[in-house]
Amino acid sequence: MPSLREIRGRIRSARNIQQITKAMKMVAAARLRRAQDRMLGARPYAALIAALLRDSVGREDAAAHPLLRARPAAAAGTGTLRLVVLTADKGLCGAFNVNVLRRAVQILREQGDKRKVEVVAVGRKGRDFFQHFGVPLAGQATGAIDAAAALGLARDQIEAYSSGAVDEVLLVGTEFASVISLRPQVARLLPFDLASVGADGAAGDPPAATAPPSYEPSRASVFAELVPRAVEAQVWRALLESQACEFAARMTAMDNASRNSKELITSLTLYANRIRQAVITKEIAELVGGAEALK
């Protein structure tokens, strides 16, 4: 039987852990709110720019832009596939990183023997994971998520695709449906998938088209500029979405941890009290026994 002091020590450490997890939950909740605002702000822009693109494509030849044209190699399941895997820099956020990585590994397994698959890791957790298992990285990005970093990431992918080094680019990330519903998601980034960006016209719809619009300076030049912008917007949106999911996952995980430590403290306290009573009972029995013997 453990001594009373040992158990009191365990209660103390459980209480300390609870304080830390509670604080982490609070921090995650505050950052989640900010991340959610940023994410909701980015959604209309991405949706509107995709809608504008879709609108212009409807009147244009669908294969008018190299970033929209599917490569025969990708259609045949050969060539080079690039996965951009969005994870967090830090752990302690439940299954968030694991879910994304599991999905990425699944694709690696399915596609690996058919075509060359390369990985771009965003977030320290993903980078460490692939390095540990000896998967060569075609690129990586860690640290704070800001517009400049997203732009750089998007431009790298566009460049790799345009140069012909890569035939298809997939984004593996997490979609934020609600705080308790975070879904790992695979979306095609390049060739740009016009159908993938849902038209959630929450912030307003594009102007109703009464007649086909004219383009200035010219249709081709607007189009050439529009496609990369749409790709950039999608990357930015996916990054913000992943970040919001990370904080939501951490908040839930830390809430569970706080609750578990509370349970642990309750049962340990009960156990400590039982031991304390057993000790008292034993002492009384000894006293009585001793008094009997003196008679």
Partner 1 sequence: MKTFLLDIVTPDGPAFQGPVERLVLPAAEGLLGVLPGHEPLVASMRPGPLHYEVDGKVEWMAVSGGFAQIGPSKVVLLVETAEASGAIDQARARARAEQKRNALEGARRGRADVALIEASLMKELARLKVAEKAPRP
Nearer to partner 1, 203 or 270 (CB): 203
User: By C-alpha distance, which of 60, 237, 271, 46 is closest to 150?
Assistant: 237
CB of 44 or CB of 91, closer to partner 1? 44
252: how many CB neighbours lie within 10 A of its CB? Answer: 19
Q: Which pair of structure tokens corresponds to residue 43?
A: 């959604």
C-beta closer to partner 1: residue 110 or 225: 225
Nearer to partner 1, 62 or 209 (CB): 209
What is the radius of gyration, based on Cα positions, of the chain? 28
Q: Residue 241: what residue type?
A: E
Nearest to 75, CA basis, from 191, 240, 238, 236: 191
- Residues 6+ positions from 64 with CB-CB distance below 8 Å: 57, 220, 223
Q: Which is nearer to partner 1, 178 or 210 (CB)?
A: 210
Q: Cβ 151 to partner 1, closest distance in Å?
A: 9
Q: What's the min distance (Å) between Cβ of 51 and partner 1?
A: 9
To partner 1, the closest distance from the beta carbon of 159 in angstroms equals 14
Give the other-Cβ count within 10 Å of 116's Cβ. 13
| Residue 245 annotated in active site | no
**Residues 253, 124, 43: CA angle, nearest 5 degrees:** 70
Please state the φ and ψ torsions of residue 103, each to the nearest 5 degrees. Answer: -65, -40
Residues that bind partner 1 (CB under 8 A): 37-38, 40-42, 44-46, 48-49, 52, 56, 147, 203-204, 206-217, 221-222, 225-226, 229, 233, 236-237
Whether the CB-CB separation of 84 and 157 falls below 8 Å is answered with yes
Least Cβ distance, residue 86 to partner 1 (angstroms): 17
Closest approach of partner 1 to the CB of residue 85, in Å: 22
The CA-atom distances, in angstroms, between 217 and each of 34, 51, 214, 220, 221 are 39, 20, 9, 9, 7
Label residue 117 left, alpha or beta by phi (over 0 means left) and psi (-120 to 50 means alpha).
Answer: beta
> In the bound complex, what is the minimum distance in angstroms from residue 81's beta carbon to partner 1?
27
Q: Considering 32, 49, 93, 160, which one is annotated as catalytic?
A: 93
Burial label, 88 (beta-carbon count in 10 A; 0-12, 13-18, 19+)? buried
177 vs 209 by CB, closer to partner 1: 209
* Active-site amino acid positions: 93
